[in-house]
Structure 1
Amino acid sequence: MAGRRKEKNSRRLAFALVGLGLILLGCFIRVVDPYPVRMSRLIYFDVLQRLSPREYNPDLPVRVLDIDEESLAEWGQWPWPRTLMAEMVARLGDYGAAAIAFDMLFVEPDRYSPSRLVNDPALSGLLNLGEDAAQLDNDELFGAEIANWPVILGVAARSAQANREIVPKAGIIEIGEMPASGLVAVPHWTPPAPPLGRDAAGIGGVNVSPLGGTGVVRRVPALWGSPDGVLPSLWAEALRVAMGEAIIIAEGAPDEAGIMLAVEIGGFRLPTTENGEVWVRYRRDVPDLYLSANDVMQRSDDPALRAEIEGRIILVGTSAAGLFDMRQTALGQSVPGVSIHAQIIEQVLTEEMLSRSDVTAALELLAFIILGLVVILVMSRFGAVASFLAGGFSAAIVLGISWMAFRNQLVLFDVTFPLLGGMANFGLLAGYLFISTEREKRIIRRIFSHYVAPEILDEMDAHGHQLELGGTTQEITVMFSDIRGFTTLAESTSATDLVTVLNDLFSELGDQILTERGTIDKFIGDAVMAFWNAPLQVEGHPLRAAQAALLMRRALVKFNTSDVMQGRPPIALATGLATGQACVGNIGSRRRFNYTVIGDVVNVAARVEQNCRHVDYDILVSSAVFHAAGQDLAMLEAGFVDLKGKSKPEPVFVLIGDQELAQSPVFSELESAHQNLVAAIRDRQPQVFIEELCSECRDLAEGVEPGLTGFYRKLPGRVADFRTDVPSEHVMFSHARHLKKVSR
């Protein structure tokens, strides 16, 4: 007893060490944070936002002036003359806009300026302008206009260096150890054309993602790093100008350089990632956010427009498809890029800022460790099923915590790594446990391999059969019968109880094989292999083997209702039979050998058994068995299946019942309907017609063998199995058998 307890404790210790090793491996993967881990986390955050998006508040002081398709149709293609843009700015200023931010670039001088047109060789002979008019510069006029109002111009990231520098308008105060050194950086900016950059009240970056970034926009930098210095994003600069602030405060970690914690603009504190990005708290895109540029340009004093513009931050952008400024949000919508800037300003004003800190990441890792420990402790004592339930309950708690943190605190707590990592640990540990169970199965297999049928022992005693190496080639019938659902049984049963169940089951099945004068070759874990016609000659061995399979089916029904199976899932069998030539004899080493068979027929029988799942029936036989015993048993054609190691498909048949059933009227009716179904398939009749015939056969099968319902339910998806070129002897034999039964 003490030895068994010591062995059990050793197994538990080994199991725990394996589990702890998996937890450490998971922690290492999380620290490395490879791309699949990052993407699963981001997709989960998208799901959270889709389940609970931010609500739109029409009273917020943010609007988008949209240069839409209607505006382009009315005022011409883009870019518009700077004189027209100056008029737009004047209109917005007169309406009382708190800030006017352009989510667009004014990089090149206006091509419509008279001073540029008179210098165009193609137009110089056509234009007759006065000297004063020839000196007019639209950029000067536009700059003079924007100098009168709180206008913010946009600049964009570029890889090549420009010949002009950007002079930021916002003052940046850094608190901590150089937090700006870790900002998302751009190589260079595209500066506005002179003198626009000088006359603007603010300059901000229009990019919503780093240079070259594509896909879903989830985070947007509040501040950018560049060779020209720290530059605010367009939305941050618009908010600063609208509030009349001169500075933006960058708050960093006090003891670590290059780490950004938050950005302060006026009275608003915005938590950021360590490189200065803010998470976008999205809402559904709504048309109420947008004002058409055409309406503003055509109406000089409209009370309704004034109500929409006065005191608000106006972001000027475009939704026109031809200007290619559409971005993908976490809600799965494509919106204009300017809408993202507007949504960030909205969430700042409503203080609905998403946050995610290093503490949150540490808690996620702790959740993974706790889930792993729960799986280890429960599985080592109570098995895989109890561990699955306990782990699922713990996972539900973690998922609930994540959801409540998002809903109530706007904290992004990732559950994908704890849950997926926990599931991976569970699967690997369950596999380890299953391997331990397989080891017990191998012990059973070694024990039963020492036993043969009593008839064999009697024959050996009577004829002085010598136990020596060697064998003879002869025709035999081989059976493979495998337990289905054994993994489920093994997970819910201790190893000792599992041995008891297998012993009782193999005893029942073995008795049926021996009744039909078969030889039990071996028990292979949860499977049994047997053969007929050796070492004793058995007349009609294919028929004997088929009858043994039917007896095993009946014995299994009785076994599943026995006391040993109470409270356990029922066991199902898959049985395959094949007849052919094989070498039969004692095979092994000189010191240890087994009486067994070697040959292609063994492989065929095993592969036929494996195709029971494909055909969805419990007993399959090869064409050789069908030819030898088909006239005495109830069998039906099941098509051609691929057997591993065989170059051509093998015709197989389902074994339904004994001779009494084969001669019954109900089976004759089913057999006739089945022949019509197979003929329809091979004639390539429409799928609807084939499904109708399958339904007819399924109805008839209820009165013959209920197990056939699954076979016919799956058959419409296996029509290709029946359309393989059929050797003439199979067709002729099948029809001859049918005609013979009809004549009876």
Structure 2
Amino acid sequence: MATKYSPGEVVRRLFAKHGARWLLALVLTLLAGGQVMGMLPAFLTERIDLFFYDMRMRIAKVETDPRIVIVDIDEKSIAEVGRWPWSRDVVAALISKMTDSYEAQTVAFDVLFAEPDNSSGYATLESLAHSELKGLPQFGQQLQTLKPKLDFDARMAAAIQGRPVVMGYNLSNEPDAIAKGQLPKPVFTLASLGGRRLDATNWKAYGANLPQLQEAAEAGGFFNPLLDNDGLIRRVPLIAQVGDNFYESLALASARSALGATRMKPIFLQQDAVMSDQQLRDYGALESIALDTKPRPTFIPVERHLTTLVTYRGRGGVHGGAFRYVPAVDILKGRVPKNDLAGRVLLVGTTVPGLYDLRATPVSPNYPGVEIHANIIASILDGDFKQRPEFAVGFDLVQILVIGLALGLLLPLLGPLWSIVLAAGAAFGIGAFNFWLYDSAGLVLPMATALLLIAALFICNLGWGYLFEYRNRRAIVNLFGEYVAPELVAEMAANPASYNMEGESRELTVMFSDVRGFTTLSEGLQPNELREYINAYLTAMSEDIRGNRGTLDKYIGDAVMAFWGAPIALPDHAARAVATALKMQQSCLVLNEEFAKRNWPPLKIGIGLNTGNMRVGDMGSKIRKAYTVMGDAVNLSSRLESITKVYGVGVLVGQATRDAAPEFAYRELDSVRVKGKNEPVPIFEPLGLASELTAAQRASLDKWTAALALVRRQQWDQAEQEILALQQENPHGLYDLYLQRIAYFREHPLPADWDGVTTFETK
């Protein structure tokens, strides 16, 4: 008979079994929510959302838009008319054909006319009339008669005058850019906005058309797009700022002309209920632009920086786009039926190689720039815009919470097959719903974070068992890493047959480090403070040792024991040990800065290093063993550490270590006979890499070497003189020690057989 549990017991059992995964799901959901709210970086999700946005346009059905035609200055036109740029009388004839003969609704130029046209020779003749031929009035009179025929710029301006022609120009923020040509009338000014600013792109220079051409035109617009981080064009500013004035884009100016609108009005976000007048002026965010069209205004929504998303139709070009291309020469020669162009918006651009205005877009890496304007014009004429709504963040947050809570609760209760079905179904539902909103309402809503959350929840649940086992294995490795550095453990694990814990004799370098004045230090700290103090010290020293491939042997109270060269052989074990000792001294200085902030006493350590043959392996009793080193060379290292305070130095090394690490510079301090050894041992203080010593340091070292030689020859006066000079240059406890010794030796003469060795009777 099955056991029946109360609802509370069921919940308790479920939580005991799945609580960790539910908690993980909650954490993942909160992280996703934080990312949506802007608390975490969003680079990856932004790229994924852009991918889906691009994909939706690439799979959209392409239909030719008959209202907009590209007048193409193509190779055929160049072959029949001549190389580009054409003389302005030809362009004037083209304008007359488009506006008068074909009765175009609007003509817009995605071409710039910034330089005067002197191809007729009129400028040269006019110069002669004012110089060499100034005395011939008949020449000047005849030139004035010919001016209407020879001044091609004037002929083009006359062709533009009174006709629905929109001139295009370029804005620039290049460091060396200058203002050239004449801008059209601004659509807004700072004064007309009543102190409210607009969140528009700001430009400092421009390359515009000749004044007489722009003045004759109905309007003008810039043709600058904006590049996303991946170099693609998805947004185009509809309005940009130059100085105190705001100007419309070529697409907006062309659409406004085609719709018969003469004015536009900025529609600000309705924030008056919660914002002061000053905040409104500072906020300056537009909701849309209103054109004064009949019978009702046309509203054009805008996004940040007064941009609009480009709805690309097709892959672009003569054969892959949604717009018809007509060679310019066919219009000039009247080869195109009038009904094909009458009442259309004509955009004049070029597809000639070398002049082809190609741009990288989501639908094609080589998309005609003139078609970008055509797509925006089509969106304005249709009132069909793709936009990121203001509620996008709230929408994303809601869908993340629903997905996170639902999948987080259900996935741990399901088997692998149903987990796959549930996760795949959730992902499909998110994608389908977002695509439907895009097609039906023109809303571009985020879904990358939701899809990533679904993937994360699914992977975490499916891989829970593996991750749990991996965590257990990792814990074992970390435990063993308390004795041997984890990176060395990993290296050993790659070739376990080459390593064992059996004892062997090997040349190693061993280190002992101890805190100076630990008893006094401990008396001045509370127990908890002392624990934190020692933990900080041992952690920093251990990191330095293991960071340079050292094996951390043990802690002996406040002392640290380590060695180099086992279990993994290191040919440069001595050099690594010396470098580590110097690094530990630097780490003490860093720790002291933190200790000073807490009014703790400064940390001072002494380090002894020695190199030699020693026994290394798994040693101890049946109850407890440890991987450690033993031998006479080990004992000497301990003795060297204990006498560092006598010489006022932080690091002492033996002769063998000095010989094994010759790349460092050393100061010989003495020749000593430590307790337990009969043979004297030279001791040295490492100063740093020999190649990094300054000239002053080398000079000071040479002086000390000479002074030490004088002491050993018992030339007390000269030695004292040299050491006093060194003391004045750079005070050091070592110099005090030897000055005291000299004074003592003067009063207590040395025996004739003195060998210059200092004997230490204590450990």
TM normalised by structure 1 equals 0.54
| Aligned-pair CA distance for 1:237 | 0.4
Residue 434 of structure 2 contacts residue 445 of structure 2 at CA under 8 Å; is this kept in 1? Answer: yes
RMSD: 4.1
Question: Which of residues 107, 132, 150 in structure 2 aligns to 1:100?
Answer: 107
Letter paired with 2:332: M
Question: Which of residues 268, 271, 295 in structure 1 aligns to 2:330?
Answer: 295
Tell me the equivalent position of 2:160: 146
Distance change in 2, residues 1:180/1:354 (3 Å): farther
Distance change in 2, residues 1:214/1:309 (3 Å): farther
Tell me the equivalent position of 2:205: 188
| Aligned-pair CA distance for 1:54 | 4.6
Tell me the equivalent position of 2:305: 275
| Aligned-pair CA distance for 1:380 | 3.7
Tell me the equivalent position of 2:268: 252
1:258-317 per-position Cα deviation (integer Å, ceiling 9, x unaligned):
323222333432222232222222222455611110111122xx6x43212221111111
Question: Which of residues 261, 269, 272 in structure 1 aligns to 2:287?
Answer: 261
Letter paired with 1:270: I
Letter paired with 2:289: V
Question: Which of residues 55, 61, 65 in structure 2 aligns to 1:47?
Answer: 55
Tell me the equivalent position of 2:143: 131
1:648-684 per-position Cα deviation (integer Å, ceiling 9, x unaligned):
xxxxxxxxxxxxxxxxxxxxxxxxxxxxxxxxxxxxx
Residue 412 of structure 2 contacts residue 461 of structure 2 at CA under 8 Å; is this kept in 1? Answer: no
Give the secondary structure class of the aligned counterpart of 2:27: helix
Distance of 2:155 and 2:88 partners within structure 1: 8
Tell me the equivalent position of 1:207: 224
User: Does 2:87 align with 1:81?
Assistant: yes
Question: Which of residues 116, 137, 155 in structure 2 aligns to 1:109?
Answer: 116
| Aligned-pair CA distance for 1:437 | 5.1
Residue 46 of structure 2 contacts residue 448 of structure 2 at CA under 8 Å; is this kept in 1? Answer: no
Residue 180 of structure 1 contacts residue 230 of structure 1 at CA under 8 Å; is this kept in 2? Answer: no
Letter paired with 1:182: D
Distance of 2:180 and 2:47 partners within structure 1: 39
Residue 171 of structure 1 contacts residue 247 of structure 1 at CA under 8 Å; is this kept in 2? Answer: no
1:22-75 per-position Cα deviation (integer Å, ceiling 9, x unaligned):
2222233332553332222111111111222453233xx221111111111111
Tell me the equivalent position of 1:664: none
Give the secondary structure class of the aligned counterpart of 1:249: strand
1:126-174 per-position Cα deviation (integer Å, ceiling 9, x unaligned):
xx99533786532222212211311111111122231555242646899
Residue 371 of structure 1 contacts residue 391 of structure 1 at CA under 8 Å; is this kept in 2? Answer: no
Distance of 2:502 and 2:440 partners within structure 1: 78
Letter paired with 1:108: E
Tell me the equivalent position of 1:328: 360
Distance of 2:22 and 2:184 partners within structure 1: 62
| Aligned-pair CA distance for 1:318 | 0.9
| Aligned-pair CA distance for 1:424 | 2.7
Residue 176 of structure 1 contacts residue 254 of structure 1 at CA under 8 Å; is this kept in 2? Answer: no
Distance change in 2, residues 1:175/1:81 (3 Å): closer
Distance change in 2, residues 1:157/1:439 (3 Å): closer
Give the secondary structure class of the aligned counterpart of 1:47: helix
Tell me the equivalent position of 1:734: none
Tell me the equivalent position of 1:19: 25
Distance of 1:412 and 1:441 partners within structure 2: 46
Tell me the equivalent position of 1:312: 344
1:593-621 per-position Cα deviation (integer Å, ceiling 9, x unaligned):
99xxxxxxxxxxxxxxxxxxxxxxxxxxx
| Aligned-pair CA distance for 1:587 | 10
Tell me the equivalent position of 2:699: none
User: Does 2:455 align with 1:423?
Assistant: yes
Distance of 1:138 and 1:78 partners within structure 2: 15
Letter paired with 2:270: P
Distance of 1:66 and 1:77 partners within structure 2: 14
| Aligned-pair CA distance for 1:219 | 1.9
TM normalised by structure 2 equals 0.53
Tell me the equivalent position of 1:576: none
Tell me the equivalent position of 2:68: 62
Distance of 1:374 and 1:339 partners within structure 2: 45
Distance of 1:315 and 1:199 partners within structure 2: 18
Residue 190 of structure 2 contacts residue 197 of structure 2 at CA under 8 Å; is this kept in 1? Answer: no
Distance of 1:109 and 1:168 partners within structure 2: 21
Residue 174 of structure 1 contacts residue 251 of structure 1 at CA under 8 Å; is this kept in 2? Answer: no
Tell me the equivalent position of 1:219: 235
Give the secondary structure class of the aligned counterpart of 1:204: strand
Tell me the equivalent position of 1:413: 445
| Aligned-pair CA distance for 1:194 | 2.1
Question: Which of residues 358, 364, 373 in structure 1 aligns to 2:396?
Answer: 364
Distance change in 2, residues 1:350/1:131 (3 Å): closer
| Aligned-pair CA distance for 1:405 | 1.2
Distance change in 2, residues 1:233/1:311 (3 Å): same
User: Does 2:435 align with 1:403?
Assistant: yes
Question: 283-292 vs 217-226, which deviates more?
Answer: 283-292
Bigger Cα Rg: 2
Distance change in 2, residues 1:241/1:6 (3 Å): closer
Letter paired with 1:271: P
| Aligned-pair CA distance for 1:115 | 3.5
Give the secondary structure class of the aligned counterpart of 2:22: helix
Letter paired with 2:212: P
Q: How does 1:479-558 map to 2 (within 5 A)?
A: none
1:103-142 per-position Cα deviation (integer Å, ceiling 9, x unaligned):
1111122232533344899xx99xx995337865322222
Residue 231 of structure 2 contacts residue 360 of structure 2 at CA under 8 Å; is this kept in 1? Answer: yes
Residue 152 of structure 1 contacts residue 237 of structure 1 at CA under 8 Å; is this kept in 2? Answer: yes
Distance change in 2, residues 1:401/1:174 (3 Å): farther
Distance change in 2, residues 1:99/1:372 (3 Å): same
Give the secondary structure class of the aligned counterpart of 1:203: strand
Give the secondary structure class of the aligned counterpart of 2:162: coil
Letter paired with 2:333: Q
Distance of 2:198 and 2:475 partners within structure 1: 65
Give the secondary structure class of the aligned counterpart of 1:263: strand
Report sequence identity in percent.
Answer: 25
Point out where structure 2 has 5 or more consecutive residues left out of the alignment: 133-138, 272-279, 477-499, 505-616, 627-763
| Aligned-pair CA distance for 1:440 | 8.1
Distance of 2:204 and 2:469 partners within structure 1: 61
Distance of 2:194 and 2:393 partners within structure 1: 22
Distance of 2:41 and 2:86 partners within structure 1: 47
1:417-461 per-position Cα deviation (integer Å, ceiling 9, x unaligned):
2112331343345545543355789999xxxxxxxxxxxxxxxxx
1:303-347 per-position Cα deviation (integer Å, ceiling 9, x unaligned):
x43212221111111111211301233323633211121122223
Tell me the equivalent position of 2:97: 91
Distance change in 2, residues 1:260/1:405 (3 Å): same
Count of residues in correspondence between the two structures: 451
Distance change in 2, residues 1:438/1:177 (3 Å): farther
Give the secondary structure class of the aligned counterpart of 1:321: coil
Distance change in 2, residues 1:208/1:311 (3 Å): same
Letter paired with 1:39: R
Letter paired with 1:241: S
Point out where structure 1 has 5 or more consecutive residues left out of the alignment: 445-468, 474-584, 595-744
